[in-house]
Amino acid sequence: MHAPLGDDYFNVMRSMLERERDFTPVTASIVDRHVLARGSQEKVIENITRKDKEENPDLIILTPTCTSSILQEDLQNFVNRAGLDSKSDVILADVNHYRVNELQAADRTLEQIIRFYLEKARSQYNEPLRKTEKPSANILGIFTLGFHNQHDCRELKRLLTDLGIVINQILPEGGSVTNINELPKAWFNLIPYREVGLMAANYLKNEYDMPYVAVTPMGLLDTENCIREIVDIVKSSDTSYNFDFETYIDTQTRFISQAAWFSRSIDCQNLTGKKAVVFGDATHAASITKILAREMGIRVSCSGTYCKHDADWFREQVDGFCDEVLITDDHTQVADMIARIEPAAIFGTQMERHIGKRLDIPCGVISAPVHIQNFPLGFRPFLGYEGTNQISDLVYNSFTLGMEDHLLEIFGGHDTKEVITKSLSTDSDLAWAPEALTELQRIPGFVRGKIKRNTEKFAREKNCNLITLEIMFAAKEAVGA
């Protein structure tokens, strides 16, 4: 990363959000005044060759950040020169930070890397391409910091295995660049998320005639569609493939996954016609909208996405399943829309969750932007048949907890104990001086009671009956002694 101090914030996100056990393989080649004055060539090349020796990677990718791209230095030249001296391959990530968002950049860079290694393999070996004997697939688009990507990947592997399909390569997470040349051996590519992986899939289709399935298997109906597309592709290459997928789909839908039964069960009837708002990346927002509308009978008042570059596809997908569509990356517009519609629940990103907190509307998180809560340790896919269970849970809990809160409000809260302790404390013979009271109010609510009691106890021990600021601070100091 060719960047000033602080741009490598990514390392913190990966280490803390994903709870990654290893050092993040990203280093910032720091851009400072010296670099601005003298040019970055020396420093960048030196850093690349240094990392080559220290870490022995197979591939080093140099990426500018928005600051360094304004400098318009010839980074491609540096990459070429560094490549001469290093054992590893060196590539420059070809993205313009002002024109694309992070999803488009990831999509583009993945394609760039795959293209690089396949062209390299083609120029070195001249073997004819041999497909695997058994039907196989590559999964493209599983990312670090992707929304529930790790869990989804596990579920996809299980699904493909159930269908008798071997997993060839999974990229990029857990994959290795040395295996990229194996990609064309698979029978087809599976692209679970629209945002990342499509460019690579198209490249592989054009160059190697590899078909791909880009139906996101989220929800019972779309999982079925995805399976049918997969089966069509496999059958067209191998007519002897005779897996009884009709029975499989039917059993999974009606008996193994609990989601269909949930939709039929009587307490789900209470959700019929309830208003919801959906917002997120194109893949998740579109899928959740369809699930809510088709599979659960919930009314989606508004469905939206911040993936403006994919607006057409999005509109087409949710057409008929929602009352209005909102395409924007301005979160205040989303907030205004939610305030206007006043849904019973929101299904959005962490940004919408905060809007929901302000407006007192429950929210289930279904897409990035994310917080630490969206990296659960337990197995929580959104895709496949297990995913349908997780989504049903999320939907149900969001609506029910919302109901619970409203009932509590109507019936006056959790009850009697607080009233009793309130009256006890007013019996105290201690007075609080005004500045001390102001100070007490500044303390966050959830610790205030404890601090008040501690201070009063200290004051009693010292035989004071007026609590001043000095006594408050002295009480804090005395805690350890």
Partner 1 sequence: MTNSKLTETLTFECETGNYHTFCPISCVAWLYQKIEDSFFLVIGTKTCGYFLQNALGVMIFAEPRYAMAELEEADISAQLNDYKELKRLCLQIKQDRNPSVIVWIGTCTTEIIKMDLEGMAPRLEAEIQTPIVVARANGLDYAFTQGEDTVLAAMVQRCPSNAPEQNQIEKKSLVLFGSLPTNVATQLNLELERCGIQVAGWLPSQRYADLPVLNQNVYVCGINPFLSRTATTLMRRRKCKLISAPFPIGPDGTRAWLEKICSVFNVAPINLIERERLIWDSLEDYITLLRGKSVFFMGDNLLEISLARFLVRCGMIVYEIGIPYLDKRFQSAELQLLEKTCSEMNVAMPRIVEKPDNYNQIQRIRELQPDLAITGMAHANPLEARGINTKWSVEFTFAQIHGFTNARDILELVTRPLRRNKALENLGWNQLVKM
Which residues within the stretch 363-392 sit at the binding site for partner 1 (CB under 8 A)? 369, 371
Which residues are CB-neighbours of 44 under 8 A, at least 6 positions away? 2, 29, 62, 75, 78, 82
- Smallest gap, in angstroms, from Cβ of residue 442 to partner 1? 6
Contact window for partner 1 (CB under 8 A) among 84-92, 99-107, 247-255, 379-387: 99-107
**Closest C-alpha to 139, from 164, 168, 182, 159:** 168
> Can residue 461 be called a binding residue for partner 1 (CB under 8 A)?
no
- Smallest gap, in angstroms, from Cβ of residue 339 to partner 1? 13
Tell me, residue by residue from 22 to 41, as one string, x for binding to partner 1 by CB under 8 A and - for no binding.
xxx--xxxxxxx--x-----
> Can residue 469 be called a binding residue for partner 1 (CB under 8 A)?
yes
- Smallest gap, in angstroms, from Cβ of residue 77 to partner 1? 20
- Smallest gap, in angstroms, from Cβ of residue 27 to partner 1? 5
> Can residue 358 be called a binding residue for partner 1 (CB under 8 A)?
yes
Tell me, residue by residue from 52 to 91, as one string, x for binding to partner 1 by CB under 8 A and - for no binding.
--x----------xxx--xx--------------------
- Smallest gap, in angstroms, from Cβ of residue 39 to partner 1? 13
> Can residue 330 be called a binding residue for partner 1 (CB under 8 A)?
no
- Smallest gap, in angstroms, from Cβ of residue 478 to partner 1? 7
CA–CA distance, 385 with 249 (Å, rounded to integer): 10
Query: Can you tell me which of 53, 254, 357, 460 binds partner 1, judged by CB under 8 A?
Result: 357
Can 74 be counted among the known catalytic residues? Answer: no
Query: Can you tell me which of 131, 185, 315, 354 binds partner 1, judged by CB under 8 A?
Result: 354
> Can residue 15 be called a binding residue for partner 1 (CB under 8 A)?
yes
What tokens appear for 175 in the block? Answer: 């994959």
CA–CA distance, 163 with 476 (Å, rounded to integer): 65
Q: How far is CA 387 from CA 69, 295, 324, 381, 392, in A?
A: 41, 14, 26, 5, 9
Nearer to partner 1, 191 or 475 (CB): 475
Query: Can you tell me which of 56, 98, 206, 422 binds partner 1, judged by CB under 8 A?
Result: 98
Nearer to partner 1, 30 or 186 (CB): 30
Which amino acid type is present at position 123?
Answer: S
Nearer to partner 1, 4 or 175 (CB): 4
Nearer to partner 1, 20 or 238 (CB): 20
Nearer to partner 1, 238 or 439 (CB): 439
> Can residue 9 be called a binding residue for partner 1 (CB under 8 A)?
yes
**Is the CB of residue 203 less than 8 Å from the CB of residue 114?**
yes
Tell me, residue by residue from 109 to 138, as one string, x for binding to partner 1 by CB under 8 A and - for no binding.
------------------------------
Which residues within the stretch 286-315 sit at the binding site for partner 1 (CB under 8 A)? none
Nearer to partner 1, 75 or 200 (CB): 75
Which residues are CB-neighbours of 340 under 8 A, at least 6 positions away? none
Nearer to partner 1, 300 or 368 (CB): 368
Marked catalytic residue, from 22, 209, 267, 330: 267
> Can residue 422 be called a binding residue for partner 1 (CB under 8 A)?
no
Contacts with partner 1, residue ranges (CB under 8 A): 3-9, 11-13, 15-16, 19-24, 27-33, 36, 47, 54, 65-67, 70-71, 97-99, 101-102, 350-351, 354-355, 357-358, 369, 371, 439, 442, 469-470, 473, 476-481
Residues recognised as catalytic: 267
